[in-house]
Amino acid sequence: MDRFVIYLDIEHPLALLDRRKRNRHMSGVLRKSQILRDLSGCGCMPQSFIWLDGTHLEDLPLLAIVISGNTTDWEHYKASQLKQPFEVIRNGVVPILGLCGGHQLVGKAFGGAVAPMRKLRKGEVDPYPQYRPGFFKEKGFTEVKVGAGNPLFKGLRDSVVVSESHYCEIKRVPKTLEVIASNPDCRVQAVAHRDMPVYGVQFHPETFDEEHPDGKRILENFFDLAHSLT
């Protein structure tokens, strides 16, 4: 059987009750799954975290798991809903890459703490006032400093430009994770597990274009790593 990628959708069901929002979300999931399919050279199966069963993942011909972002605050997720995703991340059976909220989930799985970056300062413009007003956000293509020597950033400069869309960050980094990218607004832009091929990036590498190709290269590097390990 050919290997494939799981695109683990961690959006909370509460955010998908409205039909239009649900349709828009599913369209995005399918579009991103196609991007992962193209860049990995393998099939890609979207999978909601609600139905995730990690007990037999090692028996599947998996290349990797890519964990999506989310728009729902973590306080709305029950511990029982996150049990399986946490176990899958901690086991590191296959290479894992968390994107935005998925990156935060990686941090939480190993005991890290996630919270808003900060509140807006007086006079600061909110780039996305309809979402969590009053909080500072990174929105749009943003410069990030990356650590040398990590395979995730192979072939890239020490500063990349990637798409951001978040107001929370990993505030406390667990000892099992190493910070491998940062910028002045968000110290933990990317993490790597010290012993397993488990990564998280606070940004959205799946959002790229001809003028901003760094995210594409990061995904290609991740899949190259996955191919070399599986």
pLDDT tens for 107-133 read 999 999 999 999 999 999 999 999 999
pTM, entire model: 0.96
Q: pLDDT value at position 15?
A: 93
Q: Is 165 helix (H, G, I), strand (E, B) or coil?
A: strand
pLDDT confidence bin for 147, thresholds 50/70/90: confident
Identify the architecture of domain 4-229 in CATH. 3-Layer(aba) Sandwich (3.40)
Could you give the percent of the chain with pLDDT greater than 70? 100
47: pLDDT strictly greater than 80: yes
pLDDT in tens, 6-42: 999 999 999 999 999 999 999 999 999 999 999 999 9
Q: Cα dihedral sign for 44, 48, 49, 50?
A: negative
**pLDDT recorded at residue 1:** 62
Kind of pairing between the strands at 138-146 and 177-182:
antiparallel
Instruction: Give helix 19-40 / helix 214-229 axis angle, nearest 10°.
Output: 60
Which residues are paired to 145 by β-bridges? 159, 182
Catalytic residue numbers read: 100, 204, 206
Sign of the alpha-carbon torsion through 65, 69, 75, 81: negative
Give residue limits of the domains in the chain: 4-229
- Three-state DSSP class for residue 197: coil
Give the mean pLDDT of 91-114.
97
Looking at residue 106, what is its pLDDT? 99
SS3 102: helix
Does residue 148 register a pLDDT over 90?
A: no
Q: Is the pLDDT of residue 55 over 80?
A: no
Cα dihedral 75, 81, 82, 88, rounded to 10, equals -160
- Assess contact for 223 and 37: CB atoms under 8 A: no
Give CA separation, 56 vs 18, 52, 53, 228, in Å.
33, 10, 7, 22
Give residue 93's pLDDT: 86
pLDDT for 202 equals 99
* Tokens encoding 225: 């790593």
Q: How large is the C-alpha radius of gyration of the chain?
A: 17
